[in-house]
Structure 1
């Protein structure tokens, strides 16, 4: 059974044209066969009429001359003028006896039709049916003039005519299909532009526009496409602006929270440590059994101070404007390795200069790396994490460039960052606000890969550097 779901539109329309053409050919062939049978029957009926009139004149002449020796019936004159191949002419008396009969021989130059066609044709048209006309003399019927044709003759003629029509059809149909397919291919050529435009839109290129088309239907589609692209571009621009504002508010809130924790909670922990030290001095003199409790309070306060430092570091990253993106990321990697208890599992490779990138770009990239490392280390249980940061120039003269960020780890599969913290959604929002692209792939066995491409204006006097840690 033909599967139409994935077939080409041009092929489908061409096949439909071929099917309609076949039906039209069948209808035309049927019309010709019916018309041919009607013509044959009309000719036989005319022959029977002529024969009946001739016999009536002969009978009248015999009666008028009272010539009983004249031959009756005499169909020689009629047969000589109307006889054709396969035609039979006879006079049948009232008793049913055939008094005279003439038959023309069948043509031998035409091939015999197939038995199936002959049986079908005879069932549909009954070509051997007789045409009967009464012969009347003095108001009484004295017999019948009968004309018929051998069924093999019209059957062979019908097969011959059908064969010629079939030959014409077999030549015309492929030519018609080829012309229709070519015309459809030319008319539907703009659909490639529409598909390319849709693919560009799906890839995030909202600058894609369609040119005007000659066909009114395709031109309407192009207008709707262009309007939709403009609306999407405007909506994306508004969304990016809103995202940037939300990110700024979020970062300000984080800085404010970090400052409050440092000023209030940090000072409280420092006071607890000082009180624990003072209490230890007093306990050493007056109550030695309390030394263990004082030391425990001091250790707890110290652990809380370390946890607070980690939280402050995540809430308020180093000043990227002063240190730069590369140095800030190297410090982030060093901090993670420092917390790995002597087993470094984080690596970083930096290529290119990041001194002149906008502050917002550097801050967002830092946050993305920070979130990705947290997900890989704490939630995916990765033992090795590789960070690559590269500045690429897309124009030989400088100006336009892009930052490529790649993070690969060997963590557990299925632990997508979308389930933890800011997650993949937050990363996508930051990348979208920068006008970039993000992709995340989790391996079937283990590990995952994060790829980020962010466009950026590259200063021509920036000095490229390469370093790895």
Structure 2
């Protein structure tokens, strides 16, 4: 999962926990608000009745009266306005058949589910009635008693919770969206860093990164830049070392070829001459056995000389340095055709202008083609082999070499093999900044090599 999604998911978990805590708090507060409304209603009605009693006392002009006055008319619309919705108020002592005076509860709130009503009453308890005495001139005339209607109080509490939850959900959604945008904006430099690492994985070691405002990302970007610079220097040193090793190896090959030619070539020539002389002597002496042995020695010497000649051709500098890449490839394919008449058909496909390709690039291309053809002929049962050399100009400016056969084979195992042939190809191409890949072809394998001509 992407880092942005992980952070957003964690943020949503925190928001949901906060929302749950807010819901619990809203439930308790809504339930207790009914008690506060009951307290306030009782206080307002008691003050109103106290005022009515004082008015009656002042109206009769008797401040020393010790008997109680009749209860003033308090069940009016003005008193109804003082009672909170869902609260019922009565005056004690009440007259016969007098009902409590209740606030408006028609259409009040939303009917809650049964589980909420039972859970709230179980956990938070029932609402208590509130009593306020009515006194004037040190005389108590009665008591105002206020009690909430259980059904109305539950509906009010549920409606209050719904309102709070709605607002909380809107706030949670807004927080999630804004925080997601902020997190995405903050982590945007990570995409640039990942893209730079991918370019480094494909060989673009010196890659530039923008300056980041965040200190942490700036440090990471600096570390990535330093790593790329060190990798680039290491690859340059490796390429230089590889080129030097190839030069040393070529010198050793030339020395070995010279020694083989001088030593083995002369000795084989002498053996062939002696064998011919023995054969001639045996023929004159009519000694058939000696002549036959001499002919066998001559054949063995000729076979060894042919093998030595092929070895010397491979050890010496390729023809690409003398004849040019195109002529050397044509000669290479013709030699393979002449030596392997019964083996697969080899097709040579040349594209682009190869005339000015010379030196190390030409020699490397020749060696790569030679090694790939050798592997295809020795290790597969191919019936047809295609050798394609293509020069691409423009932005690519590279030489492409492809050897494709129809002999089957496992591309993955060959690509992971540590044989000297493919390893040597990789070393030669790495010295010039090139690449090689092994892939599955239609009926066999395909080896693709690329040599930058800028090298």
TM-score interval, normalised by the smaller of the two chains: 0.7 to 0.9
Q: Post-superposition shift, 1:277?
A: 0.6
Offset, 1:227 = 0.8
Alignment partner, residue 363 of structure 2: 363
Retained in 2: the 8 A contact 1:89–1:146? Answer: yes
Structure 2 residue 210 is matched with structure 1 residue 211 = yes
Question: Residue 228 of structure 2 corresponds to which residue in structure 1?
Answer: 229
Cα distance in structure 2, aligned partners of 1:368 and 1:162: 79
Q: What is the deviation of 1:83?
A: 4.8
1: distance between equivalents of 2:40 and 2:185? 56
CA contact (8 A) 1:89 1:101 kept: no
- 8 Å contact kept, 1:127–1:154: no
SS in 1 for 2:349: strand
Alpha-carbon distance in 2 for matches of 1:90, 1:193: 75
Decide which of 406, 411, 418 is 1:410's aligned counterpart. Answer: 406
Alpha-carbon shift at residue 78 of structure 1 (Å)? 11
TM-score (norm: length of structure 1): 0.78
Q: Which residue does the alignment assign to 2:397?
A: 401
Q: After superposition, what is the alpha-carbon deviation per residue over 1:285-315, rounded to whole angstroms, capped at 9, x for unaligned?
A: 2322222211111111111111111211222
Q: Report the CA distance shift for 1:116/1:369 in structure 2 as closer, same or farther (over 3 A).
A: same
Give 2:191's aligned residue: 192
Change (3 A) 1:419 1:153: closer
Q: What's the counterpart of residue 435 of structure 1? A: 433
Deviates more, 1:400-409 or 1:259-268: 400-409
Equivalent position of 2:444 in the other structure: 447
User: How far apart, CA to CA, are the structure 2 residues paired with 1:26 and 1:247?
Assistant: 72
Structural mapping, 1:326-341, within 5 Å: 326-341=326-341
The question of whether the paired residues in 1 share the 8 Å contact of 2:132 and 2:145 is answered with: yes
Report if aligned partners of 2:409, 2:444 keep a CA contact under 8 Å in 1: yes
SS in 2 for 1:441: strand
Aligned pairs for 1:55-74 within 5 A:
none
Describe the SS at the equivalent of 1:376.
Answer: helix
Alpha-carbon offset, residue 91 of structure 1:
9.5
1:249-307 CA-partner distances (Å, limit 9, x unpaired)? 11111111111111111211111111111111111123222222111111111111111
Q: Report the equivalent of 1:293.
A: 293
Q: Which residue of 2 aligns with 1:464?
A: none
- Return the alpha-carbon distance in structure 1 between the equivalents of residues 132 and 173 of structure 2: 50
Q: Any idea what the Cα deviations from partners look like across 1:440-465, whole Å, max 9, x if unmatched?
A: 1134x74111111211149xxxxxxx
| CA distance in 1 between partners of 2:153 and 2:39 (Å) | 15
- 2: distance between equivalents of 1:452 and 1:346? 18
Cα distance, 1:152–1:303 mapped onto 2, change above 3 Å: same
Question: Which residue in 2 is equivalent to 1:315?
Answer: 315
Q: What is the Cα deviation at residue 168 of structure 1?
A: 2.5
Asked whether the 8 Å contact 1:375–1:417 carries over to 2, the reply is no
Per mean C-alpha deviation after superposition, the further-off stretch among 229-238 and 189-198 is 189-198
Q: Is the 8 A contact 1:255 1:315 kept in 2?
A: yes
Please state whether the residue corresponding to 1:432 is helix, strand or coil: helix
Structure 1 pair 26–435 and aligned structure 2 pair: CA distance change class (3 A): same
Normalising by structure 2, report the TM-score: 0.80
**SS at structure 2 position matched to 1:254:** helix
Q: 1:225 to 1:318 in 2, by over 3 A?
A: closer
Measure how far apart 1:148 and its partner are: 3.6
Alpha-carbon separation, structure 2, partners of 1:152 and 1:76 = 29
Contact 2:390–2:401 (CA under 8 A) maintained in structure 1: yes
Distance of 2:66 and 2:418 partners within structure 1: 128
**Which residue is equivalent to 2:352?**
352
**Distance 1:301-1:420 versus aligned 2 partners, 3 A rule:** farther
Tell me, which stretches of 5 or more residues in structure 2 are unaligned?
54-63, 134-142
> CA deviation digits over 1:31-58, x for unaligned, max 9?
2332343444356568889999x9xxx9
- State the aligned residue count: 426
Aligned equivalents of 1:18 and 1:130: distance in 2? 42
1:50 & 1:36 partners in 2: Cα distance?
Answer: 21
Partner of 1:423: 421
> Which residue in 2 is equivalent to 1:137?
none
Is the alpha carbon distance of 1:92 and 1:285 closer, same or farther for their aligned partners in structure 2, counting shifts above 3 Å? farther
Quote the Cα distance in structure 1 between the aligned partners of 2:453 and 2:36: 91
Q: Aligned-pair RMSD on alpha carbons? A: 3.7
* Superposed counterparts of 1:157-196, under 5 Å: 157-196=156-195
Q: Secondary structure at the match of 2:397?
A: strand
Deviations 1:208-242, CA, capped at 9 Å, x for gaps = 22111122222222111111110110111111111
